[in-house]
Amino acid sequence: MRQSTPILWVVQACLIWLTLVSASPTISHDNLVSDADSDSDVSALQTRDTKPFPLRILPLGASITMGYKSKDGNGYRKWLRQQLRYAGWEVDMIGTMKNGTMHDNDHDGHIGWRIDQITSHVKQIIPQQPNLILLNAGTNDALQNYKVDTAGERMDSLLTYLFDNIPNTTIILSTLTFNGKKPQLGTDISTQYLELAAKRRARKERLVVADMSTFIQWKQLVDKIHPTAAGYEEMASVWWAAIQEAEKEGLLQAPTSTTKNNTAFSKAREKELDDSTADPRLPAYTAPPQPTIKRINSSKGSSLSHQWHLWAVAFQILTCIDFSYV
């Protein structure tokens, strides 16, 4: 009994300390600061010549994914493909649609579609097993003011469906580009995306955020919704930064062996399909840090799950007790 008292005291002290120090979790998303070490990694990646496996990329979303209102109909896709090729990736764009002047012009971007419509379509693409999904959806939910409060939940379900049915795939989740018609609703949806992305990343899921909401500005829109040529090029920069982040974090994996066309994918075919392997000189862009769950010293703004908080507290009690024995 003698010995249990100090231990209890330590636990109690830990709990008091936790109450004081452990504040509610919140989402940090600082647009102005970037990872200090990212630049050196980036240039190292760019000079590497061959990548270990091809990228089977599914551009998934609505009209912006299609490249609507861009002169060549390629939108961001050709710029991004060329950048990936320049960096040494083999690329196969996939999807149930074909638009644009680029050769490898497959995609799944459907004019006017909301998240729910994309979700009900997406099972058709599952057999193609992309190992990289570029997901830009939700602008139409904002424009149509369609259940904006729960857009994040619908996106979350879509992500779960994709992860469950495409083993090892990496998803780049785009926040929404600025729109001049329902700007606040767009921002609301982007905020929901950052929160769900922070949670999923905390669980070590293969998910990276491409923050389109800050780089593409009002003047880079043709109709208050769709990017100009320069805007689409900037989108490519943002995707490219996110893909590099995914590579840096070791998230990217080879396409699954069950993929029908995986073995048929050849370098010769790649070259034949390629528009160019030259440096597209994408607009310079420094990505903000990925959203994370962070503790702050205030009790407001907790939007994360109770469960997460319990885990954090349990972990801290353990470390605290552990520490007290040292």
Ligand X SMILES: *[C@@H]1O[C@H](CO)[C@@H](O)[C@H](O)[C@H]1NC(C)=O
CB 158 within 8 A of CB 122: yes
Residue whose token pair is 């939700």 = 138
Give ∠ CA 89-284-293 in degrees, rounded to 5. Answer: 80
Report the C-alpha dihedral over residues 298, 300, 305, 307, rounded to 10 degrees.
Answer: 40
Count of positions on this chain that bind ligand X (CB under 6 A): 14
Gap between the Cα atoms of 280 and 78, Å rounded: 10
* Residues 248-267 within binding reach of ligand X (CB under 6 A): 253, 256, 260-261, 264
From the CB of 273, what's the least distance to ligand X, in Å? Answer: 8
CA distance 104 to 95: 10
Nearest Cα to Cα of residue 163 among 114, 210, 211, 196: 196
Query: Is residue 292 helix, strand or coil?
Result: strand
The stretch near ligand X (CB under 6 A) out of 43-51, 158-166, 292-300, 316-324 is: 292-300
Work out the number of other CB atoms within 10 angstroms of the CB of residue 250.
8
Token couple for 267: 């370098």
Instruction: Please identify, using beta-carbon distances, which residue of 70 and 237 lies nearer to ligand X.
Output: 70
According to CB under 6 A, which one of 74, 82, 83, 99 is a site residue for ligand X?
Answer: 99
Q: How far is the CB of 97 from ligand X (least distance, A)?
A: 4
Residue 128 DSSP label: G
> Is-contact 165 126, C-beta < 8 A?
yes
Q: Give the residue closest to ligand X by C-beta.
A: 298
Neighbouring residues of 7: CB distance < 8 A, sequence distance ≥ 6: 321
Q: 110 or 154, CB closer to ligand X?
A: 110
Among 22, 28, 150, 168, binds ligand X (CB under 6 A): 168
Contact pattern from residue 270 through residue 289 relative to ligand X, giving x for each residue in contact according to CB under 6 A and a dash for the rest: --------------------
For ligand X, the closer of residues 22 and 253 by Cβ is 253
Among 9, 33, 39, 98, binds ligand X (CB under 6 A): 98
Q: Which stretch binds ligand X (CB under 6 A): 27-35, 183-191, 221-229, 290-298?
A: 290-298
Residues 37-96 that bind ligand X (CB under 6 A): 73
CB of residue 125 to ligand X, shortest distance in Å: 13
Cα separation, 144 vs 142, in Å, equals: 5
Q: Which of 120, 298, 305, 319 binds ligand X (CB under 6 A)?
A: 298
296 sits near ligand X (criterion: CB under 6 A): yes
Q: How far is the CB of 112 from ligand X (least distance, A)?
A: 12
Residue closer to ligand X (CB basis): 298 or 319: 298
Within 212-305, where are the H helices? 212-215, 229-248, 267-273
Chain positions contacting ligand X, by CB under 6 A: 73, 97-99, 167-168, 253, 256, 260-261, 264, 296-298
